[in-house]
A = this chain, B = another copy of it.
Amino acid sequence: MKAEELAGILAEHSLFADCDEAELADLILRGHFVQYDKGDELIMQGDPGNSLLILLSGNARTSMIASNGHEIVLDYAEPGQVIGEIALLDGGERTASVTAIEPTTALTITRIAFEEILKNHKNMALRLLKVMANRIRTANTMIEGDRAYTSGPRLARYLLRLSVVGAEEGRLKLDLSQSELGNYAGMSREHINRQLSTWSEDGIVSVESGKVRILNHATLSNIANADS
């Protein structure tokens, strides 16, 4: 792999976008290129966390199984995103699994390699701090949503989170099934279905051949911030 390629991937969505050439080269040199099929686990809950991944292509779901068996989807990761830094940093177990939801490639960086990189490039630590600050904000937003909002506004928020900014025709980044959406937004598949049907009647979204599209972005945003 070449530095420019990596730069291209990181440029779009990553807080590592401003890496200089030496940093990119070092990441490639010390990193390990890995491929995954759909359904493969990039990270397994409960494992010791001795490496970090940078997603290069494809898409992956971060989810955890609670001790009572419930599955909770924490996030979906796009190319450019860093994964698995938490356990690497604090030396603890992996608290969540990361599963490829399509064919996926990633750059794996071991703890030792990572420490070298941190040592050689001072800006890397700061960059990673920003990545993590971002993650905490996302997590807090999720808590806020779970605590303060009823199912409607909450689903609206998750749909908006999945929406592409300059989206042609309100298409979503990922075409999740209703059960997957349910796991993501923390509500039952049936409830998702009913909510989407209602919004579909009101012309706020469309649900065709299993794919949700946002027709009325503004109204959905209003719902996402509604009082109840």
Q: Hey, which bits of chain A sit against chain B, CB under 8 A?
A: 64, 66-70, 72, 74, 85-87, 89-90, 92, 95-96, 118, 125-126, 128-130, 132-137, 139-144, 146-149, 153, 186, 225-228
Contact = CB atoms under 8 A, between A and B. Distances in A.
Each complex incorporates copies of this chain amounting to 2
Given A132-B136, A137-B90, A69 B227 contact: yes
Contacts of A126: 89, 118, 125
A108 to B, nearest CB: 19
A14 B197 CA distance: 50
B140 A95 contact: yes
Nearest to A15: B90
**Which of A69, A89, A96, A149 has the most CB atoms of chain B within a 10 A radius of its CB?**
A89
Nearest to A144: B66
Given A118-B126, A125-B125, A143 B68 contact: no
Given A66-B148, A66-B149, A70-B148, A90 B130 contact: yes
A74 B140 contact: yes
**Which of A69, A87, A133 has the most CB atoms of chain B within a 10 A radius of its CB?**
A133
A133 B85 contact: yes
Contacts of A68: 148-149, 153, 225-228
